[in-house]
Structure 1
Amino acid sequence: MFRNLGEYLKELERRGELVRVRDEVSAELEITALADAAFKSGGPALLFENVRGRDFPLVIGLYGTPERTARALGVEKLDELAARVQRLLELKPAGGLAGALAMLPKLGELKGLFPKKVRRAPVQEVVLTGEAVDLGRLPVQTCWPADGGPFVTLPQVITRDPETGEYNVGMYRMQVFGPRTTAMHWQLYKTGRKHFEKARALGRRLEVAVALGGDPVLGYAATAPLPELPGLYEYHLAGFLRGRPVELVKAKTVDLWVPAEAEFVLEGYVDPTEPFVTEGPFGDHTGFYTPPSPYPRFHLTALTHRRDAVYPSTIVGPPPMEDAWLIEASERIFLPAAQLVIPEIRDYHMPPAGVAHNWVNVEVEKEYAGQGFKVASGLLGLGQMMSTKVVVVTSDAPPKPGFAALLAAVRHLRPERDVIFGKGPTDELDHAPLAVGFSGKLILDGTVKLAAEGGPAPKPGRPGPVPHPDVVAQHAWPGVLAVAVEKTRPGQVRELARALAADPAVRLLLVADAEISVKDPDALMWWVLANLDPARDAWVEAGRALVLDGTRKLPEEGARPWPEVARLDEATLERTRPLARELGLEG
């Protein structure tokens, strides 16, 4: 593993996976344009050495490919992470001296689990307090044209439970409002928010430290859906993955321990008695802008950093982005734990097009009737899986690639019997539900059916061409028809579905807006699922066709204000195009 970010960058450069950008580039939109091109093409990490008007270089793309993410986490392939965790779960003494001795070699898996406290740290080579603190020196990005301002996008936000003293490290975006003030995007279900609410109830400030950089495994750990267990927090996971302890040093102005090998640490507090600040809009991981919303205000009391600090950053937006590979890492790490609770799970996958919470595929070992629904329901009750909107279950096809698994499920799907609708919590950032954080749920049981379930479904045919005036583009796969429409009126998709369901070959009808290519499965599924509330937008038409209405919803259809897609303006793209070509990021 890597002691710090500098070691990791040297390794990336040695492998030809890091490009130094010496041209002057703006942190406002221009870095986004170049990074987005790199992510979409599987290109290198980018180290911007000359960010206009800022005092530090910026690196982006630390997790920009599956292979790079795996390397950051100490393995060659992400699939190896599940095997490491499986070995940890097998640490069970068999009994007697022989059993204890047999277990000793496995205890090496726990090496590094517990953080180590140190007295001196590179991150405190420079210590700034009071008026000397100025976030304007850092190359904090304004990522998308309609963003409310610059956002810190790769922070490790460290807090401690005011009652129990338990630590938490989470990745919560932070909009910069001034030299010593940001918003703190603590959503309802996040542990940081729970700490804040406890501090509010106790009538006291909540101290906060924000680490930037360090061993790249620390950044991953801040995103991991770790269960809340006494004495266990994200830097324990990081130590386990890296095989050596995370070194921590006491912060200078707050009573918190922070990563000694970080690049920067922002120290300060949140005061629950203060009015919230309006944060946003922000081009989010959903691919759409999330609207302005009230969040707590973070006040900086100190900024510490290395003398040669590099600011780490990322962007989120229309997939695929590098957060897809962080999600896949969590998927692999927590697969063995999911199998402990639901042992018939062979594997599961969250396709990048589902942006984590919109879509999960799960493959099961099918033994009895109803097992597909049982497994899907169990998954919806596991931790952050509660936010999932659509679960697709197979028994004879792997869950990855995502669209291939969906087609395999459709082979065995009779929607009138094999689909369940429900409701439950969802991501607060999801714009499609009628209410914030509360959405419909959809389970597709695409397992091979037993006699008690009505027996196998007939082999699906391929739907034929659609001569309908509302359809501007179409594409078909066995059992699946995708169409694009120019949405002009409420109820339009319902009318269209009645007409298209007349084709008995249609088992799944996907409806998107005209701007999306229905021939591109990933773009199609991203758009449809992002714009879907199954409680409003999914139904079985004519007793045989499952319809997913993935069009933008109109106010007359009961929708909240519909957001725009996070896209760069043409002026920025034109301005950065020559440099992108020079860097080999586009043709």
Structure 2
Amino acid sequence: MPPKHVKSASCQQVVYTGDEVDLNRLPGLQVWPGDGGIYHNFGLTHTRHPETGKRNLGLYRLQQHSRNTLGMHWQIHKDSTAHHAVAERLGQRLPVAVAFGCDPAVSYAASAPLPADIDEYLFAGFLRGERVEMVDCKTVPLQVPANAQVVLEGWIEPGERAPEGPFGDHTGFYTPVEPFPVLHVECMTTAKDPVYQSIVTSKPPQEDHGLGKATERIFLPLIKILIPDIVDMNMPEPGVFHNCLVVSIDKRFPKQAQKVMHAVWGAHLLSLTKLVIVVDADCDVHDLREVSFRAFGNVDYLHDIVVSEGPVDHLDHSSYHQFFGGKLGVDATRKLPTEGYTRDWPEMMTMSPEIVSTVDKRWSEYGLGTGR
């Protein structure tokens, strides 16, 4: 459902411009002792491609440098980074709008790993079953959600960078100080009594895990279209979304697990995954005890692992070179004779359903679990 344009909106009931703009009006957070200052962690950033006009909506942290400037933590793999790179090549300023306190579906869409050609507001309308109302910004050629609580409008000058960080991120580590673009905020609009929204990031578990798990479940059908071999997948919480992916397959031919590993490493932002574990379809990928059992017991580490290299997340600190590093694929499936396995694969021990049913029915007779 495409967004709907409206002429007026509650997010512009109060307008601050010029010297009236003061980011200290917002209750930004310094969550961790080592953070480099105040951060605004749940602002939805709007940009447009300077040549194609394609809109992007992204969720990035914003470090407050002064009363009217923000550091834009635009990681190298993000679409807004690409928009900024084109603007710099053309020698143009890039208009930016940041909205806080939006509809939950819109906020989620900002974090979703959509292809560059898919409008996040089209996706948000699909999720909420209703078109998202958008209003023109006051000072920049962009549109923002009409029901946002706070909107910041401004420009990024070509070639300007400022140190950003450190920041206690969702990885559980502080990200280092790096140069990032600077947003000069020239206008702030708000609802009459705005509610400011932010988020706390830290070592898992934390608030942002729900966004990652929602992405896993919502995008699974699309991943299955891209990689039909996959039955189910799980991004385990300790893997912070991009360090580990567990997938199950209905194995039909030799080295199918390796095929899936390489397909994952070639699939949009799944390409950042460092560890891919492939199990059979009868393994519940969400039961990490069972996954570990298969990975420990079903793997010959001379034959069943794939070591590769490729792009890694901007926040990954373990790679020896920033932005690319090692990958590991683990084939924890049953092995086939056509894969060179020379023995009969053993049958896994399972209790018969009849015995399980009998024990369940007579459990209380045994005096177990009754407190006696």
Say if 1:283 and 1:316, in contact at 8 Å, map to a contact too: yes
Match of 1:418 in 2: 304
Match of 2:266 in 1: 381
Match of 1:140 in 2: 28
Q: 2:38 & 2:198 partners in 1: Cα distance?
A: 12
> 1:236 and 2:122 equivalent?
yes
> 1:321 and 2:206 equivalent?
yes
Q: Any idea what the Cα deviations from partners look like across 1:354-388, whole Å, max 9, x if unmatched?
A: 00110000000110110011111101111100110
RMSD across aligned C-alpha pairs, in angstroms?
A: 1.4
- Equivalent of residue 364 in structure 1, options 249, 253, 267: 249
Q: 2:335 & 2:210 partners in 1: Cα distance?
A: 33
Say if 1:156 and 1:170, in contact at 8 Å, map to a contact too: yes
Match of 1:6 in 2: none
Say if 1:448 and 1:456, in contact at 8 Å, map to a contact too: no
Deviation at 1:452, TM superposition (A): 1.7
Deviation at 1:401, TM superposition (A): 2.9
Say if 1:411 and 1:457, in contact at 8 Å, map to a contact too: no
Say if 1:186 and 1:193, in contact at 8 Å, map to a contact too: yes
Letter in 2 for 1:399: V
- Equivalent of residue 43 in structure 2, options 143, 149, 155: 155
Q: 1:295 & 1:327 partners in 2: Cα distance?
A: 25
- Equivalent of residue 448 in structure 1, options 313, 329, 334: 334
Deviation at 1:344, TM superposition (A): 1.6
SS of corresponding position for 1:298: strand
Deviation at 1:324, TM superposition (A): 1.3
Match of 1:397 in 2: 283
SS of corresponding position for 1:428: coil
Deviation at 1:317, TM superposition (A): 1.0
Match of 1:291 in 2: 176
Deviation at 1:443, TM superposition (A): 0.3
Deviation at 1:212, TM superposition (A): 0.5
Match of 1:282 in 2: 167
> What is the TM-score of this pair, normalised by structure 1?
0.58
Say if 1:150 and 1:176, in contact at 8 Å, map to a contact too: yes
State, as a whole percentage, how many aligned pairs show the same letter.
45
Match of 1:312 in 2: 197
Q: 1:369 & 1:323 partners in 2: Cα distance?
A: 38
Q: Any idea what the Cα deviations from partners look like across 1:552-578, whole Å, max 9, x if unmatched?
A: xxxxxxxxxxxxxxxxxxxxxxxxxxx
Q: Which runs of 5+ in 2 are unaligned?
A: 349-372
Match of 2:80 in 1: 192
Q: 2:10 & 2:79 partners in 1: Cα distance?
A: 28
Match of 1:223 in 2: 111
> 1:120 and 2:8 equivalent?
yes
Q: 2:225 & 2:55 partners in 1: Cα distance?
A: 26
Runs of 4+ in structure 1 deviating by more than 4 angstroms, as ranges, are 455-460
Q: Which runs of 5+ in 1 are unaligned?
A: 1-112, 461-587
Say if 1:171 and 1:223, in contact at 8 Å, map to a contact too: yes
- Equivalent of residue 250 in structure 1, options 117, 136, 147: 136
Deviation at 1:406, TM superposition (A): 2.7
> 1:209 and 2:104 equivalent?
no
Deviation at 1:457, TM superposition (A): 6.2
SS of corresponding position for 1:141: coil
Q: 1:150 & 1:263 partners in 2: Cα distance?
A: 20
The structure in which a higher percent of residues are helix is 1
> 1:339 and 2:240 equivalent?
no
SS of corresponding position for 1:404: helix
Distance of aligned partners of 1:446 and 1:202 in 2 relative to their CA distance in 1, 3 Å threshold: same
Letter in 1 for 2:27: P
SS of corresponding position for 2:65: strand
> 1:261 and 2:142 equivalent?
no
Q: 1:141 & 1:163 partners in 2: Cα distance?
A: 36
Q: 1:323 & 1:301 partners in 2: Cα distance?
A: 30
> What is the TM-score of this pair, normalised by structure 2?
0.90
Q: 1:223 & 1:444 partners in 2: Cα distance?
A: 28
Letter in 2 for 1:318: K
The number of residues matched between the two structures is 345
Distance of aligned partners of 1:197 and 1:236 in 2 relative to their CA distance in 1, 3 Å threshold: same
Deviation at 1:214, TM superposition (A): 1.8
